[in-house]
Copies of this chain bind each other. A is one copy, B any other.
Amino acid sequence: MDTVTAPGLIAGSLTTLSFAPQVVRAWRTRSTADLSFAMLVVFLAGVLLWIAYGMVKEDVAILAVNIVTAVLIGLILSLKTRNG
């Protein structure tokens, strides 16, 4: 834990795990019309950049939270693409 200390890790876990209920909701309802496509795409781009940053900095915490976030946003985006 060099660049991210415990409070940062808790904050990062919250912002990452927050997308889990959105995945569940989108999966159950198959309704994603109210989700902004631009939000999902730009957010995913930012998260992928965080992953690249984590790789260069060799920071496992940044890598871990952002890989999980990328998977969750990817799931929401694929549901959005399918259901509109």
Contact = CB atoms under 8 A, between A and B. Distances in A.
A1 interface: no
A11 B39 CA distance: 14
How many copies of this protein are present in the complex?
2
A34 B36 contact: no
Highest count of chain B CB atoms <10 Å: which of A15, A43, A45: A15
Given A3-B3, A53-B8, A14 B43 contact: yes
A19 B40 CA distance: 9
**A interface, size bucket:** 35 or more
A18 B31 contact: no
A18 B36 CA distance: 9
Interface of A: 3, 7-8, 10-19, 21-22, 24-26, 29, 31-36, 38-43, 45-47, 49-50, 52-53, 56
